[in-house]
Structure 1
Amino acid sequence: MPSTGKGAFFIFGINCQGDEGGSEEERRVLLSVKKRIGVLTYRGEKGFIEPGILRLMVREGEKMNLEVFLFSPQDVDLTARKIRGYTPTQTGWKNDWYAWPDIVIDRYRYYPVPKHAGYLPFRRQQLFRYANSRFANKFSVHRVLEQDPILRKWLPQTMEYSRESLAILLQEHRVVYVKPTNGTGGRSILRVVRTPGGFHLQGQTKKKKKISESIPSLDVLHQRLQAWIKQEKQGNEQFFLQQGLELSLVPGRTVDARLLAQKDGTGNWRLTGMAIRLGARRSSTSNLHSGGTAVPAARFLTEHFGYEMTRQIIGECKELALHAVSRIEQHFGQMMEFGFDIGIDVKGHVWLIEMNPKPGREIFRQLGQRKRYLEAVRRPLEYAAHLLLNDQQVSDENHAYV
């Protein structure tokens, strides 16, 4: 792995500590004829969920000679074959009718709740050419990944929830997590710790209320978790159990890495960036929305493991990401980007916690890495333009779903 000196690491040809690798010419997509890109996302009564990123996508698209607009399933007029699309103004959003897009980027973050009920039927209609294929829930993805013998060493033990699986995992591990298959932002996750007097629960409800409880026995724990699942369950989602990891590199705080891998304007996977997330004190997750903070990856890891071991850890993260995206694309079809949540335990072992096909980019903005943040916004547009230029149809057809 090449290096420009201590603290600098190159992964996917990109320096994790400094400027991104690769020339501007490689990353910039220039189109002689303006192409139309629709960004499918959720729009509710209060507007768009991630307005900052979406505004930038439209504006960066303009710089690339792309016509980019946002839309939701309810904005599509199938009879007239036109779409009510949204673009940003100085103070809000304006809408207008647009012709059918040349390609669509799916940024719709689906959860099994009533307001999202129309998304899956809409997506299955194959109305558009999509830049990214459909995905599956966390537990189903884990089952796909664990079939790969290379990936298994990075996967924490994970089982569907039952009293029997709870007993097995708590016998083998001091800490076990209870997670929803469609959760995000650290919501509805419980940390179960085996103690001399029984068990201790720590977590956050879907309404962001923190809980901390002591439980005397496995039977009482199972009853409490059943009540928790009934309370927290949204729609038809299920809950699963996952081996807890020793991620307390900073005492009293959960620590993990966020790695953003994206396809660029040449269709190749590249690492846009990597950072460390420090969870809030007494929090069971490292999520930024739950009070976590971000720090530069190379600097943090070097302080805890030294230079040579940090090189090995980051190299292993690269290997993990490359194998994972390859396995996922074999199963689900072409993808565009993934945010990897990677655990690095106190011994320096790397663990794949989960991967998100519609990741955020806020960690780079929190670190003050404006250039990297903009690159993370641009790359999906560059890849979509690459597909148009190379006439590569991305389709969900003929791919297996779990």
Structure 2
Amino acid sequence: MRKRIGILTYRGETGFVEPGFLSRLVKEGVKMGAEVFLFSPQDVRYSIRQIRGYVPLETGWTSDWYDWPDIVIDRYRYYPLAKHSIYLPFRKQPWFRYANNRFSNKYRVHQVLVQDPELARWLPETCPYSKETLFSMLEQHRIVYLKPTNGTGGRSILRVERQSNGYMLHGRTKQQAKSKERLFSLADLCKRLEGWMESEKSGNEQFFLQQGLQLSLIPGRTVDARLLVQKDGSGEWRLTGMGIRIGASRSSTSNLHGGGSAVPAAAFLIDHFGREEAERIILECKELALKTVSRIEKHYGQMMEFGFDLGIDIQGRVWIIEINPKPGREIFRQLGQHKRYLQAVRRPLEYALYLANQIEEREQEQAQEQARTQY
């Protein structure tokens, strides 16, 4: 019997937030022999155990009523203020079997990872925002980042650079508008940062400070590595791919939809560090990713995929910048790696089907065991 996979995602008045990827996800699931549909919290009718699900047409989407899914992939990435109260209470309900557990905000994840001696060496200094912490970190580091705990896509991040005659700020707002200004005193800097947090936060969101790294392997550009690690159809973690992202000129981040570009990792690293050192860096990135996902699962439970944003500084040292449990995979399309992009789309479906089959096998074994005990 065909397995039924539900994709939990945000759907607003203008439709789905990442329609291209979600459409591809549904279509690939159908090719794999599954029944796949999208739904949002408002589409569930628990009393009749049915869901209004959505599937793509040539143009737009169509909806129908579907029976309860065998497994759900949580792809709910966005938290507009008006809808923020819907997702978390819904996700806490024990209605579905999920392929991926809920994660946490960026600062709490940092707190979990920094307790592991093996991982702490890869983590930049990270602290909750306060004036005192800002002063202290700017004394130690020429660059400090102000980041929101739930931000995505490089939005609402402010880069603060200490200069001889003041402070230079670069950032991008929630609406992706670029911001650049120079301030000349710590008092003015604090006032500006507090104004930024007030205008950029969602609800009661908090901000934290993070040590800036020397990631200018290309002068005037922010450079980092994006790794995608995913579970495959046998439940094992695999490195799906890796690429280098180069930020737009004078941008505070390297994000692709903020004007950045992508280049193949091996060629870029060989060009900057030589072959032997490049191979070491790539191996360290893979080791870091696999150790980190193991630690995360011990703390948060079963997960499915992660996008890692890794800094590689001018000395070749690797750093964890950010970890995203619901990552994009657009970097592979930018690199022209279409087979790898397709693999990145299919792996969550393969893992979901693996889980659904395991659940079915366990239920059959339990039914057989109950039947034996009755006689």
Structure 2, unpaired ranges of 5+: 362-375
Identity of aligned residues (%): 68
For the pair 1:67 / 2:57, whether they are aligned, the reply is no
After superposition, the Cα gap between the structure-2 partners of 1:126 and 1:110, relative to the gap in structure 1 and judged at 3 Å, is: farther
Q: Is the contact made by 1:151 and 1:324 (CA closer than 8 Å) also made in structure 2? A: yes
State the partner residue of 1:132.
100
Secondary structure of the structure 2 residue equivalent to 1:353: strand
Secondary structure of the structure 2 residue equivalent to 1:70: strand
State the partner residue of 1:10.
none
Offset of residue 115 of structure 1: 2.3
Cα distance in 2 for partners of 1:205, 1:384 equals 35
Cα distance in 1 for partners of 2:182, 2:55 equals 50
For the pair 1:286 / 2:265, whether they are aligned, the reply is no
Q: Is the contact made by 1:112 and 1:237 (CA closer than 8 Å) also made in structure 2? A: no
Give the root-mean-square deviation of aligned CA atoms: 1.2
Q: How do 1:43-62 residues align onto structure 2 when only pairs under 5 Å count?
A: 43-62=11-30
State the partner residue of 2:202.
234
Which string of whole-angstrom CA distances, capped at 9 and with x for unpartnered residues, describes residues 26-78 of structure 1? xxxxxxx2100000001111111111111111111112111000000010011
Q: Is the contact made by 1:112 and 1:236 (CA closer than 8 Å) also made in structure 2? A: no
Q: 1:248 aligned to 216, 220, 239, which one?
A: 216
Q: How do 1:18-97 residues align onto structure 2 when only pairs under 5 Å count?
A: 33-97=1-65
Which amino acid in the other structure matches residue 67 of structure 2?
A: A
State the partner residue of 1:264.
232
For the pair 1:205 / 2:205, whether they are aligned, the reply is no
Which amino acid in the other structure matches residue 234 of structure 1?
A: S
Offset of residue 80 of structure 1: 1.1
What's the TM-score, normalizing by structure 1?
0.88
After superposition, the Cα gap between the structure-2 partners of 1:126 and 1:292, relative to the gap in structure 1 and judged at 3 Å, is: same
Cα distance in 2 for partners of 1:110, 1:38 equals 18
What's the TM-score, normalizing by structure 2?
0.94
Q: 2:303 aligned to 335, 345, 348, which one?
A: 335
Cα distance in 2 for partners of 1:232, 1:159 equals 19
Q: Is the contact made by 1:110 and 1:119 (CA closer than 8 Å) also made in structure 2? A: no
Cα distance in 1 for partners of 2:41, 2:110 equals 29
Structure 1, unpaired ranges of 5+: 1-32, 394-402
Cα distance in 2 for partners of 1:324, 1:41 equals 26
After superposition, the Cα gap between the structure-2 partners of 1:234 and 1:392, relative to the gap in structure 1 and judged at 3 Å, is: farther
How many equivalent pairs are there?
361
Secondary structure of the structure 2 residue equivalent to 1:224: helix
Which string of whole-angstrom CA distances, capped at 9 and with x for unpartnered residues, describes residues 183-226 of structure 1? 11111111101111121111112222222211112222111111
Which string of whole-angstrom CA distances, capped at 9 and with x for unpartnered residues, describes residues 7-42 of structure 1? xxxxxxxxxxxxxxxxxxxxxxxxxx2100000001
For the pair 1:167 / 2:101, whether they are aligned, the reply is no
Cα distance in 2 for partners of 1:58, 1:195 equals 50
Secondary structure of the structure 2 residue equivalent to 1:177: strand
State the partner residue of 2:331.
363
Q: 2:109 aligned to 141, 144, 148, which one?
A: 141
For the pair 1:379 / 2:320, whether they are aligned, the reply is no
Cα distance in 2 for partners of 1:89, 1:197 equals 58
Secondary structure of the structure 2 residue equivalent to 1:383: helix
Cα distance in 2 for partners of 1:36, 1:116 equals 27
Secondary structure of the structure 2 residue equivalent to 1:272: strand
Cα distance in 2 for partners of 1:378, 1:298 equals 24
Offset of residue 392 of structure 1: 8.7
Secondary structure of the structure 2 residue equivalent to 1:266: coil
Q: How do 1:5-24 residues align onto structure 2 when only pairs under 5 Å count?
A: none
Secondary structure of the structure 2 residue equivalent to 1:200: strand
Q: 1:350 aligned to 312, 318, 322, which one?
A: 318
Offset of residue 112 of structure 1: 6.1
Which amino acid in the other structure matches residue 70 of structure 1?
A: L
Secondary structure of the structure 2 residue equivalent to 1:355: strand
Cα distance in 2 for partners of 1:355, 1:163 equals 26
After superposition, the Cα gap between the structure-2 partners of 1:127 and 1:223, relative to the gap in structure 1 and judged at 3 Å, is: same
Secondary structure of the structure 1 residue equivalent to 2:55: strand
Which string of whole-angstrom CA distances, capped at 9 and with x for unpartnered residues, describes residues 304-359 of structure 1? 01100011001110111011101100100010000000000111000000100000
For the pair 1:318 / 2:286, whether they are aligned, the reply is yes
Offset of residue 371 of structure 1: 0.6
Relative contact order: is structure 1 or structure 2 higher (C-alpha 8 Å, sep ≥ 6)?
Answer: 1
Secondary structure of the structure 2 residue equivalent to 1:118: helix
Offset of residue 164 of structure 1: 0.8
Which amino acid in the other structure matches residue 258 of structure 2?
A: S
Cα distance in 2 for partners of 1:112, 1:51 equals 17
